[in-house]
């Protein structure tokens, strides 16, 4: 027991030392980047200085580096980014009780506030409620809280919208003057019905995933198509059995009339099966035709995935799936 406790204590001390060393290393790198950035900032080389401050802030956030980053962004004309950096500097300065930095960042943030441009992203309710919806502005995902009246830097911007089962949508918009307000409207997203071939990781036959609309009529059409396919298979099987029974009856009793009771029974059974086979062939044709008509009746844009895969068994080959 004592040995175990000693091992745990030694491990804890080792982890603490390693963590402390890593933190010190990050802080040292961050300080070096901050100093390099300051030199570039003094030379007004904003495009070179900003990445230095950004990485420094990532490694070791502080009010000083956020304040410098805000000044750098402002030099590039990125008013919204600068304002955000100043607000971060204010929060960190309060945490560290640095009144001087808090005051400096507050003055700069207030001076920029009336120059900020804003954008509102309007998303249709049916699109907004899609599970897995992702909206990105300039490659950065933004949540619903940031869709309305969000500060944005001057210049050209890209908006990308993606959702499961839907075609991706993208547009660009430009902020060309200070204190402007823009609205970008996201349209209803189109269904993505492109088949996707999926090969199971553990082997086996590949599956084709087809996105199909969930409108009731189209769902019924898929079920009807499956029933038609099953009817066709059953008709083929019964027809084969009927032919086999008729052949056996003819061999047992090649002349007519026939006195062989077994042959007569087999011949009668073959006739019954042949009638059922014909009926099922007709039914399968009707079901397939009905399925085609129902499928092309347009419904809502909601979709789900249908899995279609080949089925091979002794004496049978066909397709199956999950709808």
CA 183 to chain centre: 25
Close Cβ partners of 186 (under 8 Å, ≥ 6 residues apart): 121, 122, 123, 124, 127, 135, 159, 161, 169
**Neighbouring residues of 156: CB distance < 8 A, sequence distance ≥ 6:** 172, 173, 174
Sign of torsion, CA 31 37 40 42? negative
User: What pLDDT score was predicted for residue 19?
Assistant: 44
Q: How far is CA 201 from CA 198, 204, 206, 207, 305, in A?
A: 9, 8, 10, 11, 19
For 231, phi and psi rounded to 5 degrees?
-65, -40
Q: Please state the three-class secondary structure of 213-245 as a single string.
A: ECCHHHHHHHHHHHHHHHHHHHHHHHHHHHHHH
pLDDT of residue 191: 92
pTM of the model: 0.56
The DSSP result for 58-108, as a single string, is HHS--HHHHHHHHHHHHHTT-HHHHHHHHHHHHHHHHHTT-HHHHHHHHHH
CB atoms within 10 A of CB 299: 13
Alpha-helical regions (H) of 114-215: 125-128
Topology of the domain covering 2-113: 1.25.40
**pLDDT recorded at residue 188:** 96
- For the chain, which residues make up each domain, given as ranges? 2-113, 117-185, 196-322
Please give the radius of gyration of the chain, using alpha carbons only, rounded to the nearest integer. 36
One digit per residue, the tens of pLDDT, for the chain of length 323 reads 555 554 544 454 444 444 444 456 788 999 999 999 999 999 999 999 999 999 999 999 999 999 999 999 999 999 999 999 999 999 999 999 999 999 999 999 999 999 999 999 999 999 999 999 999 999 999 999 999 999 999 999 999 999 998 999 999 999 998 899 999 999 999 998 776 555 666 666 666 555 555 556 556 666 766 776 786 777 677 667 868 766 775 666 666 666 666 756 766 776 786 677 688 768 767 767 776 666 666 544 444 444 555 544 444 444 455 44
């Amino acid at each position: 027991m004592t040995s175990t406790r000693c091992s745990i204590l030694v491990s804890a001390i080792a982890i603490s030392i390693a963590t402390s060393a890593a933190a010190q290393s990050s802080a040292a790198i961050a300080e070096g980047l901050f100093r390099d950035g300051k030199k570039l900032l003094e030379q007004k080389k904003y495009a070179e200085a900003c990445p230095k401050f950004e990485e420094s802030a990532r490694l070791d956030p502080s009010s000083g580096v956020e304040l410098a980053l805000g000044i750098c962004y402002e030099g590039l004309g990125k008013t919204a980014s600068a304002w955000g950096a100043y607000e971060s500097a204010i929060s960190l300065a309060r945490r560290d009780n640095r009144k001087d930095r808090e005051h400096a960042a507050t003055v700069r943030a207030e001076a920029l506030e009336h120059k900020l441009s804003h954008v509102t992203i309007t998303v249709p309710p049916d699109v907004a409620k899609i599970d897995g919806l992702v909206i990105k502005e300039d490659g950065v995902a933004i949540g619903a809280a940031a869709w309305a009246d969000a500060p944005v830097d001057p210049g050209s911007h890209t908006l990308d919208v993606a959702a499961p089962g839907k075609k991706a949508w993208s547009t660009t918009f430009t902020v060309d003057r200070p204190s402007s307000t823009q609205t970008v409207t996201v349209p209803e997203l189109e269904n993505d019905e492109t088949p996707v071939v999926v090969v199971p990781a553990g082997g086996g036959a590949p599956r084709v995933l087809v996105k199909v609309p969930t409108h009731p009529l189209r769902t019924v059409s898929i079920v009807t198509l499956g029933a038609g396919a099953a009817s066709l298979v059953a008709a083929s099987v019964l027809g084969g059995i009927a032919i086999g029974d008729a052949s056996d009856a003819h061999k047992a009793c090649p002349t007519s009339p026939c006195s062989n009771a077994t042959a007569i029974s087999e011949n009668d059974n073959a006739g019954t099966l042949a009638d059922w086979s014909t009926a099922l062939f007709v039914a399968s044709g009707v079901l397939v035709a009905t399925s085609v008509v129902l499928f092309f009746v347009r419904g809502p844009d909601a979709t789900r995935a249908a899995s279609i895969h080949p089925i091979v068994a002794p004496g049978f080959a066909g397709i199956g799936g999950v709808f």
